[in-house]
Amino acid sequence: MERTRYGLLVLIGLLAAMLLGLQARLWRGEGGRDAVDELQRQVDAQAHENGGLRQRNDALAAEVQDLKSGEAAVEDRARSELGMIRPGEVFYRVIDNPGPAPKPGAPAAGPASP
C-alpha cells in the first residue's frame, strides 16, 4: 500500500513538472506569447505604413487624372515648375530680400578664401 502511494506521488510530481515545462514553453518558447506579440507589433507598423502609402497613391492617382482631363492643371504645372508664360504676358520676378547693390566698378563678392 505504501509503495503504490509513493509511486502515485512520483507520477503526480512528474505530471506536474511536465505541465510546468509545457506552460513555460507555451509562454516563453519559440512561437510563444512574446513572439506573437512581436509579430502583432510588426503587422500594426506595416498596416500604418500601408495607410500612408495608400494616401500617397490616391493623391498621385488624382493628380494623374487631373492632368489627363484638363488643361488647367497642365498650365499650372508649366507655370510653377517650368516658369513658362503665355504669349503676350509679361513675367515679373519679385525678390523678397535684396542684398545691398554692388557699387559700379567694384569687383563682385566671391567666396572667402582661407
Q: What percent of the chain has pLDDT over 70?
A: 86
Q: SS3 breakdown of the chain: % helix, strand, coil, rounded to 5?
A: 65, 0, 35
The per-residue pLDDT for range 42-87, each reduced to its tens digit, is 999 999 999 999 999 999 998 888 878 878 777 887 888 887 888 8
pLDDT for 14:
93
Placement of cell 500604418 in the chain: 48
pLDDT for 106:
62
pLDDT at 114 over 60: no
**Nearest one of 40, 39, 41, 43 to 51, comparing CA atoms:** 43
Contact criterion met (CB below 8 Å) for 93 and 87: no
Torsion of CA 54, 58, 61, 63, to 10 degrees: -130
Give me the residue spans of the domains in the chain.
1-29, 31-87
pLDDT for 111:
55
Please indicate, yes or no, whether the overall pTM of this predicted structure exceeds 0.75: no
**Helix ranges restricted to H, 29-85:** 33-69, 71-82
